Amino acid sequence: MNPTRLIAGLTCLLIAWDGVSWAADTTELAAHRARLQMTEAPERAAHVVAVLQQLKSRPKQSGRAEMANVTVVGQIGGMPNPWADTHPDFPWFAGQGSFFLIDSKVAAQFATHAKHHGGDHNCAFCRSLAAKNAHAVAVVNLVDDAGKIIRIDSRELLGLQEGQTVTVHGRAELLGGTMLIVHAEGVYAGDSRVARNPAQ
């Protein structure tokens, strides 16, 4: 399935309300932070593309692939928006605990190219390259105890910033067989050691 259509559908599913305020109840915010923030980097993590490939190779049961426990490391943003028409807030989902995580190797390639034209990676070549690398982008959902996406912007929820490297542990699935979705149970904002086999 075309990644552009997938993300358009995902946006419609996730952004289903109007007038969401960034302001969150202090007690609720503290409780979510205490549960989600990891104080130490996981010992095993893999890049977005590696996790995607591994999940694709998993056998299906009853006609559908089961969710897998994963630990994935990547960068928030770091490439032009592949879905500018359907998701103008990239790499964020404004008003909710979701964000786009870029494969670290892909983000590094865009950073290298950006140095050649003043630090901006939004040239025509980069935009074209971003469309070709849409498979290297995962959606991370910060979920509550019931597994539902938290209705607090991830920038407020965990103080995340664009360009930041984060490690996410949680349950992963493939939307349409091509789009990696991680329902995060823990997030570490910092570097991580990379392993080859994250999914179990």
Q: Is the pLDDT reported for residue 21 higher than 80?
A: no
pLDDT bucket at 25, cuts 50 / 70 / 90? confident
Rg (CA), the chain: 16
Residues 6+ apart with CB under 8 A from 82: 3, 4, 7, 90, 130, 131, 133, 134, 137
Higher-pLDDT residue of 16, 103: 103
Residue 33 near residue 186, CB atoms below 8 Å: no
Q: Is the pLDDT reported for residue 48 higher than 80?
A: yes
Q: Which of 44-58, 63-77, 87-101, 114-128 has the lowest mean pLDDT?
A: 114-128
Domain covering 3-8+40-189, topology: OB fold (Dihydrolipoamide Acetyltransferase, E2P) (2.40.50)
Residue 101 near residue 74, CB atoms below 8 Å: yes
C-alpha dihedral, 40 to 42 to 48 to 53, nearest 10°: -170
Quote the pLDDT of residue 129.
84
Distance separating alpha carbons of residues 126 and 196, to the nearest angstrom: 28
What is the pTM (predicted TM-score) of this model? 0.81
Quote the pLDDT of residue 22.
42
- Domain residue spans in the chain? 3-8+40-189
Q: Which helix (H) or strand (E) holds 173?
A: strand 165-175
Q: Is the pLDDT reported for residue 105 higher than 80?
A: yes
Q: Is the pLDDT reported for residue 157 higher than 60?
A: yes
Quote the pLDDT of residue 144.
94
Quote the pLDDT of residue 39.
92
